[in-house]
Amino acid sequence: FSGNRGTIFSVVFIILVATTFAGTFYPPDKTLESELRRMAEELKGSNMFSITLKIFSNNAIIASGMIIPLFGIGLSIYSTFSTGVAISSISNNVVSPQVAFFGVLMMPHGLIEYITYSLIVTENVVLTYKIIGRQKDLKGELKVALVTMVLSYLLLLLAGFIEAFFIGPGLNLKNL
């Protein structure tokens, strides 16, 4: 089963992308739109470092929950669907939410985030399988889970920096 990580990763990646895409068809949520605009307003005038940390911490909290056996699978679906709803809510009057989603997916930070979440959920699936099947190498799999999370946090920090770089000009960032 664990030899199929590449297949699991591919399926998970497709599911997470498809779930986000499905969320873009959800009617725009005016309350969510107001909240997102308020958050963006709070970031105005911030420096690149603080915006990177804000983005990273938000994504790292979600990623930390995604590794929890079984629970994390549901959380990843909920989180990616919610991302689609957020895209729908903030892009609806400007561009089609579906076009906006593919724009996000094509950005380096968006792709890094989906790859990272797919890595975590893949490890969740393997770990859950080994726990349920009472596999003998569970200790080794826990080490793999730890390495996966450390790598994921590094990737999410990189993605946060890239995202801050892209959104910075629109927020009139101060220098580092």
Residue-wise pLDDT for 60-112, tens only, equals 999 999 999 999 999 999 999 999 999 998 887 788 999 999 999 999 999 99
Q: Amino acid identity of 169? A: P
- DSSP assignment of 69-95 equals TTHHHHHHHHHHHHHHHHHHHHHTTTS
SS3 content of the chain, % helix, strand, coil (to 5): 80, 0, 15
pLDDT digits 0-9 by tens, 147-163: 999 999 999 999 999 99
Taking alpha carbons only, the member of 62, 53, 160, 164 closest to residue 112 is: 160
Distance CA 168, CA 170 (A): 5
Report if pTM > 0.85.
Answer: yes
AA identity, residue 35: E
User: What does DSSP assign to residue 154?
Assistant: H
The type of residue at 47 is N
